[in-house]
Amino acid sequence: MKNFSLAGAVALITGAGMGMGRLYALRAASEGARAVILWDINESTLGEVAAEVRALGAQAVTAVVNVADPDQVIAAASAAETEFGAVDLLVNNAGIVRGGPFWAHDPQRDIASTMNINALAPMYVTRALLPAMMADSTKERRILNIASAAGTLSNPNMSVYAASKWAVIGWSDSLRLELKHQGHANIAVTTFCPSYVSTGMFDGVKAPLLTPLLTPEVAVNRAWRAMLAGQPQRLTPWPAGLAKGLRGVLPTNAWDFIAGNIFKVYSSMDEFRGRGTSIAANSSAAPAKAGANSGAAK
């Protein structure tokens, strides 16, 4: 796998209007991308990021897209390819968090929206853009799918979010293998699985033992370096990988004791607030709490 360069590339970022999506867009522009296509549901923040991208010397194109709507995705992808041709870098970044006990989740507002935005939307976006990316087998291209360490370990008060990220990890790595073994190894797929990142999405979480909250800048840098190198998966920080390994070899009851009483993983979401809510997560009558990384309907 050749190391990838953004010089002269076309990058498309979902959830580009804020948070880590904004940082991915600025990183692409700063490394020489000729065009950065910004998708988000929030038009006002898109304009602000577009101005920052242009200040770095790249062309910025914005589109208000609900990535959970396959028809909107297809239309926006067609428009992007008409103007720029095949995308060289796709970052599936848009996502939301719903925290709280499973029974507090509303079937549509919480369960369906989480699965649609976190799990199905990356599939919709990639399916719309991939045929053009596959057409030239000589050019290096990249797909960076933002998953989560929550997709590798069960955790109370984030059952639906964890399910959505488990789905992303399984799909993303399967896609990587399909491309590799069917003549498209020039398109490398990287699945990024960070632990908690200190954005508004996870406001109120308590970091487990030895697992510091990652700043958005650190998380983006690690994801970016893994993507450039064509690394199949990056799980970070290192205690997240340790936890995954221990969970795989220990009896369930032993792991539950360690995760709950030593590493404090199982209490990490007890005080989760997300964005714009203060309802107690442990109340059986309370709705699930929300956090979002823009790019889809909230």
Contact 21, 40 (CB under 8 A): yes
Taking the CA atoms of the chain, what radius of gyration do you get in angstroms?
19
Alpha helix segments (H runs only) across 230-273: 238-249, 252-257
Q: Residue 247: what pLDDT?
A: 82
Count of domains forming the chain: 1
**Does 237 sit behind a cis peptide bond, omega within 30 degrees of 0 on the bond before it?**
yes
Residue 2 located in a structural domain: no
Q: Residue 63: what pLDDT?
A: 98
Residue 5 located in a structural domain: no
Residue 1 located in a structural domain: no
Kindly give the confidence (pLDDT) of every residue in the chain, 298 residues in length, as a single tens digit, with 9 standing for 90 and above. Answer: 567 999 999 999 999 999 999 999 999 999 999 999 999 998 989 999 999 999 999 999 999 999 999 999 999 999 999 999 999 999 999 999 988 899 999 999 999 999 999 999 999 999 999 999 999 988 999 999 999 988 888 888 889 999 999 999 999 999 999 999 999 999 999 999 998 787 766 666 676 655 777 899 999 999 999 999 999 999 987 767 777 888 888 898 887 888 788 877 777 776 677 654 322 222 233 456 666 555 443 3
Q: Residue 287: what pLDDT?
A: 55
Tell me whether residue 181 is exposed, middle or buried, using C-beta atoms within 10 angstroms of its C-beta: 0 to 12, 13 to 18, 19 or more.
exposed
Residue 46 located in a structural domain: yes
Residue 126 located in a structural domain: yes
Among 24, 124, 161, 266, the active-site one is: 161
Rounded Cα gap, residues 36 and 206, in angstroms: 35
Residue 182 located in a structural domain: yes
Q: Residue 204: what pLDDT?
A: 63
pTM for this one? 0.88
Residue 201 located in a structural domain: yes
Query: How many CB atoms within 10 Å of residue 14?
Result: 31
**CATH number (domain holding residue 221):** 3.40.50.720
Measured N-to-C along each axis, helices 19-30 and 216-229 cross at an angle, to the nearest 10 degrees, of 50
Supply the range of the domain harboring residue 97.
10-293
Residue 298 located in a structural domain: no
Asked about 24 being catalytic, the answer comes back as: no
Q: Residues 202-253: pLDDT tens digits?
A: 666 676 655 777 899 999 999 999 999 999 999 987 767 777 888 888 898 8
